[in-house]
């Protein structure tokens, strides 16, 4: 058996213990879906680097996408230097130096507040790339339409700092603005987009119909590569939006591009009992290497890889219970990391047998919003980064050492 990623774990005996492995085949499978979608909808589609920025994998997905969206100067530079193609930049706030550098290469520069735009508009509008039409500027709007269920991922919560509400926009001088941008979804289907577009029409429809607005960025959060995602509805919504307002439309998914494309391999370091719980301490950490497990929170799937490292890995049963194994559940272990944080716990999982030090565990779906968020908290070793190519071969791109930990701190 192998995970959704299409990774063949046979060769993993040769790998280092802590390592993120990205499957090129799985990435290409996702981007092929997105390419078809954007061609049918007639829109632009870029990779949100905040979700996945393993730039050595860009060469395998570049042809399917129109470029990248960036959360600020450094992601924009990475997009420009390593991906090429379009760079769409939006940040909650820029300073003068960010804007001066971004004006040199970004294609769209979206501002989060009227204050930010007013602070930078004189410089931007005087820039030769703005005057020649190579650089376009937009505003992030807040349609005040919550469709998700997790408040920390909801930019429409009352008091949100993300985007301009229709009220705030009333009577504003929008000279120089040619685009609007919203991002309100998170892991959602196209019904949530339909709801949001209705709110956008109600609050910003007149502005969108004005001659000056030429693009609308529909943000990310579209879980397009999920099997039950209604792609036909997304295509129709984009087509209708383009026609209704006479604008170019852009989508900027992150998760949909990198979901089910990589795993984090780890080794069991210690196993013991604590107040009725069987605890396994691993060499990877929830807080340092997969922080969304704690932040969101969620439980990743886990696999126990067969001892001999050859053939199929054993399946690990996902356990949601907080007690030792009851009949039929297998042996429940509380998996935790090697840091001092008491809550550095991935969850309780039932395995077909008792874990022992040296066992290999693989955490599923660790390519998106993981590698971009890692730290070396507690001086924990950063996992290596590897690609698995379509022929099954593994290329270790980067290993991290003590110097990486030391040098980042001063």
Ligand X SMILES: Cc1ncc(COP(=O)(O)O)c(C=O)c1O
Residues 78-107 that bind ligand X (CB under 6 A): 90
Closest CA to 274 of 322, 222, 217: 322
Element (H, E) at 192: helix 190-209
Question: Would you say 51 or 67 has its CB closer to ligand X?
Answer: 51
Kindly indicate which of the ranges 35-43, 48-56, 170-178, 323-331 contains the residues binding ligand X, using the contact rule CB under 6 A. Answer: 48-56
Question: Would you say 48 or 247 has its CB closer to ligand X?
Answer: 48
Question: Would you say 70 or 350 has its CB closer to ligand X?
Answer: 70
Alpha-carbon span 332 to 278, nearest angstrom:
7
How many Cβ atoms from other residues are within 10 Å of residue 161's Cβ?
A: 11
Alpha-carbon span 58 to 230, nearest angstrom:
27
Alpha-carbon span 148 to 191, nearest angstrom:
11
Question: Would you say 145 or 314 has its CB closer to ligand X?
Answer: 145
Question: Would you say 44 or 220 has its CB closer to ligand X?
Answer: 220
Kindly indicate which of the ranges 46-54, 130-138, 164-172, 267-275 contains the residues binding ligand X, using the contact rule CB under 6 A. Answer: 46-54
We find the least distance from the C-beta atom of residue 88 to ligand X, in angstroms, to be: 9
We find the least distance from the C-beta atom of residue 382 to ligand X, in angstroms, to be: 22
Q: Is 183 in the site for ligand X (CB under 6 A)?
A: yes
Q: Is 253 in the site for ligand X (CB under 6 A)?
A: yes
Q: Are 54 and 385 in contact (CB under 8 A)?
A: yes
Q: Are 12 and 360 in contact (CB under 8 A)?
A: yes
We find the least distance from the C-beta atom of residue 358 to ligand X, in angstroms, to be: 36
Q: Is 186 in the site for ligand X (CB under 6 A)?
A: yes
Q: Are 141 and 169 in contact (CB under 8 A)?
A: yes
Alpha-carbon span 179 to 109, nearest angstrom:
9
Kindly indicate which of the ranges 2-10, 254-262, 280-288, 355-363 contains the residues binding ligand X, using the contact rule CB under 6 A. Answer: 254-262
H helix intervals, 278-380: 286-289, 292-295
Question: Would you say 92 or 309 has its CB closer to ligand X?
Answer: 92
Q: Are 338 and 347 in contact (CB under 8 A)?
A: no
We find the least distance from the C-beta atom of residue 102 to ligand X, in angstroms, to be: 15
Q: Name the residue whose CB lies closest to ligand X.
A: 220
Question: Would you say 368 or 382 has its CB closer to ligand X?
Answer: 368
Q: Is 143 in the site for ligand X (CB under 6 A)?
A: no
Give CA separation, 214 vs 126, 172, 193, 253, 273, in Å. 20, 18, 20, 21, 62
Applying CB under 6 A, the site for ligand X has a residue count of 15
Contact characters 203-232, ligand X, x per CB under 6 A: ----------------xxx-----------
Element (H, E) at 362: strand 360-363
Residues of the shown chain interacting with ligand X in the complex, contacts defined by CB under 6 A = 48, 50-51, 69, 90, 183, 186, 219-221, 252-256
């Amino acid at each position: 058996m192998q995970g959704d990623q299409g990774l063949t774990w046979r060769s993993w005996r040769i790998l280092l213990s802590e390592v993120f492995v990205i499957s090129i085949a799985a990435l290409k499978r996702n981007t092929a879906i997105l390419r078809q979608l954007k061609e049918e909808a007639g829109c632009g589609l870029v990779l949100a680097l905040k979700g996945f920025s393993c730039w050595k994998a860009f060469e395998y997905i570049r042809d399917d996408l129109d470029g990248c969206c960036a959360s600020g100067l450094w992601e924009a530079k990475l997009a420009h230097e390593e991906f090429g193609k379009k760079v769409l930049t939006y940040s909650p706030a820029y300073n003068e130096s960010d804007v001066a550098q971004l004006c040199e290469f970004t294609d769209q520069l979206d501002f989060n507040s009227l204050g930010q735009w007013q602070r930078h508009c004189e410089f931007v509008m005087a820039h030769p790339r703005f005057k020649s039409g190579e650089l376009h500027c937009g505003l992030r709007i807040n349609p005040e339409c919550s469709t998700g269920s997790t408040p920390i991922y909801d930019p429409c919560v009352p008091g949100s700092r993300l985007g301009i509400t229709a009220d705030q926009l009333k009577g504003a001088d929008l000279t120089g603005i040619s685009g609007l941008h919203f991002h309100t979804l998170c892991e959602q289907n196209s019904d949530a987009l339909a709801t949001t577009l209705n709110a956008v029409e109600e609050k910003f429809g007149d502005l969108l119909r004005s001659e000056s607005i030429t693009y609308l960025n529909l943000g990310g959060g579209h879980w397009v590569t999920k099997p039950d995602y209604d792609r036909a509805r997304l295509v129709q919504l984009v087509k209708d939006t383009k026609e209704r307002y006479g604008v170019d439309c852009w989508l900027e998914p992150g998760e949909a591009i990198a979901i089910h494309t990589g795993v984090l391999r780890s080794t069991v370091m210690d196993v013991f009992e604590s107040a009725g719980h069987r605890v396994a301490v691993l060499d990877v950490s929830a807080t340092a290497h997969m922080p969304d497990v704690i932040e969101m929170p969620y439980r990743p799937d886990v696999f126990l890889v067969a001892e001999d490292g050859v053939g199929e890995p054993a399946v690990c049963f996902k356990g949601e219970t907080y007690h030792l194994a009851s009949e039929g559940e297998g042996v429940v272990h509380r998996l935790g990391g090697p840091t001092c944080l008491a809550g550095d716990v991935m969850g309780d999982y039932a395995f077909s047998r008792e874990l022992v030090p040296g066992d290999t565990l693989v955490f599923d779906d660790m390519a998106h919003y993981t590698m971009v968020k890692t730290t070396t908290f507690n001086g924990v070793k950063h996992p290596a980064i590897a690609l698995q190519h379509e022929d099954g071969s593994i290329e270790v791109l980067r290993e991290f050492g003590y110097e990486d930990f030391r040098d980042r701190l001063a």
